[in-house]
């Protein structure tokens, strides 16, 4: 998979790229590129944003700047990009990221992530240049960069070779193997710590009973999560 992140802070991703599962995915043939809006802005002094029409606080990322950066990187009219790849604007008002959307994105051959800053994007970016807008939760971040990292982390760990042990994505939280429920609890040595023990069944060596216990725990956690009132 080819992932391109458009951002005002490409250097933030240098650390992110060193994370083991990202580095593994890249070693497995995937790419994670960063493009700086500032390197492609047609405006003077590296300007990328402007005050909102109609007034109000903050600054808005300009449509001509994003258009120029996409055009320079892909060497085409960005309006035609949607034919060949998903172009995702990261914005708090977008479609909520969940495991289903992560799987959808992980099956794409290429992905473009647009990070906004300040008050966000000129709406024409979302309307004409992006194919999707995605949010990572019902709260506001200062910019889309951390959200882009969340999307990359969740998506790239699904790519071949990312985790090093392929079955760990099969039976994890929200997977089909667990019926979409959260994962069961894990324990490791020591079996007794202070007065805290470990469920007997896990020490029994009885694989069938362990499997049943885990599935039941996962199911109960799913029920508990569903019973929590929605915001």
- String marking each residue 2-41 x if it binds ligand 6GU according to CB under 6 A: ----------------------------------------
Our CA angle for 102, 108, 114, nearest 5°, is 70
Please tell me the count of residues contacting ligand 6GU according to CB under 6 A. Answer: 12
Angle between helices 20-27 and 145-156 (to 10 degrees): 60
Under rule CB under 6 A, residue 112 binds ligand 6GU: no
Region of 57-65, 69-77, 85-93, 207-215 interacting with ligand 6GU (CB under 6 A): 85-93
- String marking each residue 123-162 x if it binds ligand 6GU according to CB under 6 A: ------------xxx-xxx-xx--x---------------
Q: Measured from the CB of residue 216, what is the shortest distance to ligand 6GU in angstroms?
A: 34
Torsion over CA: 1, 111, 7, 140 (sign): negative
Q: How far is CA 183 from CA 155, 158, 170, 171, in A?
A: 18, 17, 11, 8
Looking at residues 184 to 223 of the shown chain, list those that interact with ligand 6GU (rule: CB under 6 A). Answer: none
Q: How far is CA 5 from CA 82, 143, 158, 191, in A?
A: 16, 13, 18, 45
Region of 1-9, 16-24, 70-78, 88-96 interacting with ligand 6GU (CB under 6 A): 88-96
* Sheet with 31-36: strands ordered across: 31-36, 2-7, 110-115, 86-96, 132-135
3 state SS of 132: strand
Q: Which is nearer to ligand 6GU, 151 or 181 (CB)?
A: 151
Q: Point out which residues bind ligand 6GU (CB under 6 A).
A: 90-92, 135-137, 139-141, 143-144, 147
């Amino acid at each position: 998979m080819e992932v391109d992140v458009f951002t005002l802070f490409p250097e933030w991703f240098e650390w992110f790229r060193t994370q083991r599962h990202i580095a593994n995915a890249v070693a497995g043939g995937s790419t994670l590129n960063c493009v700086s809006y500032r390197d492609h802005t047609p405006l003077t002094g590296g300007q990328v944003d402007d005050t909102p029409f109609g007034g109000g606080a903050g600054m808005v990322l300009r449509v001509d700047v994003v258009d120029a950066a996409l055009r320079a990187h892909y060497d085409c009219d960005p309006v035609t990009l949607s034919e060949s790849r998903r172009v995702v604007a990261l914005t708090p008002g977008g479609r909520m990221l969940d495991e289903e959307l992560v799987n959808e994105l992980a099956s794409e051959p290429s992905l473009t992530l647009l990070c906004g800053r300040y008050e966000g994007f000129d709406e024409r970016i979302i309307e004409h240049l992006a194919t999707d807008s995605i949010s990572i939760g019902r709260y506001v971040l200062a910019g889309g960069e951390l959200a882009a990292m969340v999307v990359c982390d969740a998506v790239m760990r699904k790519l071949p070779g990312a985790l090093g042990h392929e079955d760990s994505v099969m039976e994890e939280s929200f997977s089909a193997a667990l019926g979409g429920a959260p994962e069961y609890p894990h324990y490791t040595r020591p079996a007794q710590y202070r007065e805290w023990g470990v469920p007997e069944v896990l020490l029994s060596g009885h694989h069938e009973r362990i499997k049943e216990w885990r599935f039941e725990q996962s199911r109960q956690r799913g029920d508990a999560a569903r019973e929590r009132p929605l915001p």
